Amino acid sequence: MKRRYYSVRMRASKEGVHISGAEGIYVRDDVNKMVQTYSQRAFPHEKGRADGIFIKVEELKETPRNISTLSLYTLNTKSPEAVQKTVVEILTSVGITQRAIKEAYTSLTRGITMRGAMLMDVEGVRLEPDLLRGVRVTRMGITRNAASLLSKKLSKYGLNNNTVKEALILSSKVNKHPMVLGELCLSDDPNYTVGYVSTRKYGYIRLPRIKKRGIPFGGRAFFITGGEVKDLIKYLQNTPVLINKIRPIRGILSVKEILER
């Protein structure tokens, strides 16, 4: 019999304002346990105690597509200025213009945090239909085996936490699509100053000190090329993707080492 998969999604809010969210794709036997895990996780949060927790369980009509993670590294960047310079080096090397990178930076640091990501072509033109909401990536998860291997590998570098794992899973789904050339992400959490830039070629590159502590906004930009934007949006929002393979996780590298790999 065909194996059934379920999407389990959680979002928590306080006085109507979104404070946290998480999701995964699970087999039937794991659904109950995950509903409990997500509800426990939703209560305490840096942005305050949730007063509404919404958990949605949905049977998937489509069998998830298996993919591997991107490889993961951390750069040795020391300041927001150094990060920006590095991001330009990495993204221009895969065909994204300086203008687009500057545009993404301006939008991500302007103080409006969108719920979803912005889509930007290589020249910096915004392509998402709803410029305020952006595009949310959903329907992604990781198999039990891959999750335990990922935890083990991340633990070596002190990175075994939900923030890193979920960002890596999301970015691996995003960069799998042929229209995506790369992604830039800054957390909207004021105390979280590590962002990342990712591309299929170089993998997921963590960027320490992408912003100064205390800045409460951030977001994601996906740089895209060619093809139908509506097909890409459909993939990002609806196509279920399940990580079943972990690419190498490494420690701290310099930009030079990354670009020369």
Residue 150 makes contact with ligand PML by CB under 6 A: no
For residues 71 and 187, which CB has a smaller minimum distance to ligand PML in the complex?
187
Beta bridge partners of 203: 199
Cα–Cα distance list, 100 to 22, 61, 118, 208 (Å): 29, 37, 12, 22
Which residue's entry shows tokens 């039937």? 28
For residues 31 and 221, which CB has a smaller minimum distance to ligand PML in the complex?
221
For residues 5 and 38, which CB has a smaller minimum distance to ligand PML in the complex?
38
**Coil vs helix vs strand at 261:** coil
* Segment lying near ligand PML (by CB under 6 A), choices 11-19, 29-37, 159-167, 246-254: 159-167
Q: How far apart are CA 97 and CA 123, in angstroms?
A: 6
Residue 89 makes contact with ligand PML by CB under 6 A: no
Q: How far apart are CA 192 and CA 188, in angstroms?
A: 8
**Coil vs helix vs strand at 78:** coil
Residue 221 makes contact with ligand PML by CB under 6 A: no
Cα R_g (the chain), whole angstroms? 18
Residue nearest to ligand PML (CB): 187
Binding-residue pattern over the window 191 to 210 for ligand PML, x denoting contact by CB under 6 A: ---xxx---------x----
Residue 11 makes contact with ligand PML by CB under 6 A: no
Residue 175 makes contact with ligand PML by CB under 6 A: no
**Smallest distance from the beta carbon of 150 to ligand PML, in angstroms?**
13
User: Residue 47 gets which letter from DSSP?
Assistant: T
**Coil vs helix vs strand at 206:** strand
Element (H, E) at 231: helix 229-238
**Which of 10, 104, 108, 167 lies at the binding interface for ligand PML (CB under 6 A)?**
167
Alpha helices in 61-205 (DSSP H): 80-92, 98-109, 144-155, 162-176
* Segment lying near ligand PML (by CB under 6 A), choices 117-125, 129-137, 181-189, 223-231: 181-189
Maximal CA-CA distance, the chain: 55
Residue 222 makes contact with ligand PML by CB under 6 A: no
Residue 163 makes contact with ligand PML by CB under 6 A: yes
For residues 205 and 233, which CB has a smaller minimum distance to ligand PML in the complex?
205
* Segment lying near ligand PML (by CB under 6 A), choices 60-68, 100-108, 161-169, 247-255: 161-169
* Segment lying near ligand PML (by CB under 6 A), choices 28-36, 107-115, 160-168, 253-261: 160-168
Encoding tokens for residue 82? 């150094």
Residue 13: phi, psi to the nearest 5?
-140, 165
* Segment lying near ligand PML (by CB under 6 A), choices 5-13, 100-108, 189-197, 250-258: 189-197
Sheet of 65-68: strand order equals: 65-68, 241-245, 140-142
The residues binding ligand PML (CB under 6 A) are 163-164, 167, 185, 187-189, 194-196, 206
